[in-house]
Amino acid sequence: MQPVFATTPDALVEPLQRAGIAPYRAGQVLSWIYGRGVVDPEAMTNLPRELRALLAGELAPPALEPVQIARSVDGTRKFAFRLADGEIIESVLIPDRHRMTLCVSSQVGCAMGCGFCATARLGLRRHLTPDEIVAQVMFARRHLEEDPLGCGHLTNIVFMGMGEPLHNLENLIAALGILTAPWGLGISPRRITVSTVGLVPQMRALLERTQVNLAVSLSATTEEGRRELMPVTRKYSLQELMDACRELPVPRRRRITFEYVMLAGVNDSDDDARRLVKLLHGIRSKVNLICFNAFADAGYAGSGAERRERFQRLLLDHGVNATIRDSRGPDIAAACGQLAAQTETHSAAR
């Protein structure tokens, strides 16, 4: 029988039928695993004995060993996990009033090379499998049950951790299927956001094949400026990206979120704000202005509070919905752009 993790009820039907077990049992099995976090067949009390015997030895969860849980003064928690091959990934739990958000990783490292992101320094080591993605969410759920924080339960998921999610599209979509399915974790797609640097074909595929929210990392208002900050612009120009955003099948009452990391003297001028207004014309959108979070040898400095607020005001005055995102967990290198800043330290401690 194929491994149960990262699969679907349909994929389990055939092996169950070969064993003479009713197909509907597949959904029950996965509901135990994903809905209740149970991997011991003997604890699956509504399953017949022959099915529990068949599952014995087949339900080993993916190797996701927590090697560190760091706690920020602002309540943010960062998890560092060792995978079966010894690689390290990180995810971040962020409490905020009545919301609890988990920032999930999709790759070990990243191939996109964005200059303002510490993960880029690692390069791409490998894609995460669907079960490695889902296991991060399952761990966070268990962790909150054992050590409550904020509202006490997970409400939102953002794919803004290590890696470019759309570079790992098929594994991402498989994981999203598990996260949102009734037999899986049952999380509403409206509460899941996938961030991308702007992989244009994959953006369309994501919105055609799922119902999750899309966030686009923009961070520049000119072709030259974006090529400098985000090398992906050499393949998909800023103009091509914005044209694609206008044509994407975004559901009604939804908007594309544009993330804009504010860098002092680089992309934070009044002219940049005005160009951003023009770039977003005709797109249902909102803008998150992100404070740059420093890491070793970054080569950039973040815009000051006064400059961020003026930039926001210029956007608001021109009808652009814009918010300034607070940095969460910078003291534990868990803030936006900092993930993997301490990964080498974890690896050296194996």
Please list the active-site residues.
Answer: 90, 336
Tokens linked to 5 = 């993790």
Alpha-carbon distance of 303 to 123, in angstroms, equals 26
Tokens linked to 261 = 């990391």
Alpha-carbon distance of 322 to 74, in angstroms, equals 23
Helix/strand/coil for 238: helix
Alpha-carbon distance of 263 to 290, in angstroms, equals 9
Tokens linked to 317 = 């005055």
Residue 45 CA, chain-centre distance (Å), reads: 34
Q: Are 11 and 130 in contact (CB under 8 A)?
A: no
Tokens 């054992």 locate to 146
H-helix or E-strand containing 37?
Answer: none
Q: Which residues are bridge partners to 70 per DSSP?
A: 78
Helix/strand/coil for 343: helix
Helix pair angle (130-146, 169-180), 10° resolution? 40
Q: Compute the C-alpha angle 79/84/88, nearest 5°.
A: 35
H-helix or E-strand containing 115?
Answer: none
Alpha-carbon distance of 61 to 286, in angstroms, equals 38
